[in-house]
Chain A
Amino acid sequence: DGGITQSPKYLFRKEGQNVTLSCEQNLNHDAMYWYRQDPGQGLRLIYYSQIVNDFQKGDIAEGYSVSREKKESFPLTVTSAQKNPTAFYLCASSSPRDRDNPEAFFGQGTRLTVV
């Protein structure tokens, strides 16, 4: 079955440690995205990528880094520079130039808690 997979579902880290969240898709989508969601809040764009080996900063990129070495994978690293990393992180993928199916599909999310 085609889909988008995030792992792990829950992640605990000590303050000051870098942590990497995984996102994999087998939908053959060109674009991939990372969002942060705080309790009762909307989705804020961290980074996005339209093609392999290229990505752009979103609205809240500070303290985060990404890579896009393969079309299927878009891992997000939360660095120690991120001041308040505890949040729910959502990954998505889409083909926004596909007139028949431009909508994004989402993973199940990763709940990151930094203690």
Chain B
Amino acid sequence: AQTVTQSQPEMSVQEAETVTLSCTYDTSENNYYLFWYKQPPSRQMILVIRQEAYKQQNATENRFSVNFQKAAKSFSLKISDSQLGDTAMYFCAFVSSNTGKLIFGQGTTLQVKP
């Protein structure tokens, strides 16, 4: 069975600084995708970034980048130049291309301080 683990329940960072959120996962499959989603107080789920397991290159979206270590089953999110609007709960997620099962980690609450 697949699992996703986020070991940091809460984190904080000063505005304009850089922060890294950790995520590990477990699977025996080869065909899958990994995602980071953001959930602000409105509770709307927003896709931040995605990583294809078959790609070695780490994904980047503006201030957001990932460090994907496939052998270690690690998928961390780096937020550069943190902004107050980045304050939210962040979820790491895994989806199997074979079964379609989409599962999430426990979440990390990020507070960006002015």
Question: Which residues of A approach B to under 8 Å, CB–CB?
Answer: 30-31, 33, 35, 37, 40-45, 48, 50, 56, 58-59, 88, 90, 92, 94, 96-97, 99, 102-104, 106, 108-109
Cβ contact within 8 Å between B104 and A96? no
Decide: A45 near B103, CB < 8 A? Known: A96-B95, A96-B97.
Answer: yes
With A42-B106, A48-B100 given, name 16 new contacts (CB 8 A): A37-B43, A42-B6, A43-B104, A45-B102, A45-B103, A48-B101, A50-B99, A56-B99, A56-B101, A99-B52, A104-B45, A104-B47, A106-B44, A106-B45, A108-B44, A109-B44
- Within 93-114 of B, Cβ neighbours of A (below 8 Å) are at 93, 95-97, 99-107, 109
- In the complex, how many angstroms separate the beta carbon of A70 from the nearest chain B beta carbon? 17
Question: Which residues of B approach A to under 8 Å, CB–CB?
Answer: 6, 33, 35, 43-45, 47, 50, 52, 91, 93, 95-97, 99-107, 109
Decide: A96 near B44, CB < 8 A? Known: A41-B106, A56-B101.
Answer: no
Q: Is the interface of B mostly helix, strand, loop or mixed?
A: strand
Cβ contact within 8 Å between A92 and B44? no
Cβ contact within 8 Å between B47 and A103? yes
Cβ contact within 8 Å between A96 and B105? no
Cβ contact within 8 Å between B102 and A92? yes
Residues of B within 8 A of A109 (CB): 43-44
Residues of B within 8 A of A31 (CB): 100, 102
Cβ contact within 8 Å between B45 and A97? no
Question: Complex Cα distance A103/B107, Å?
Answer: 18
Cβ contact within 8 Å between A42 and B104? yes
Cβ contacts A to B, 11 pairs, < 8 Å: A42-B106, A44-B104, A48-B100, A92-B45, A96-B33, A96-B102, A102-B95, A102-B97, A104-B47, A104-B95, A108-B43
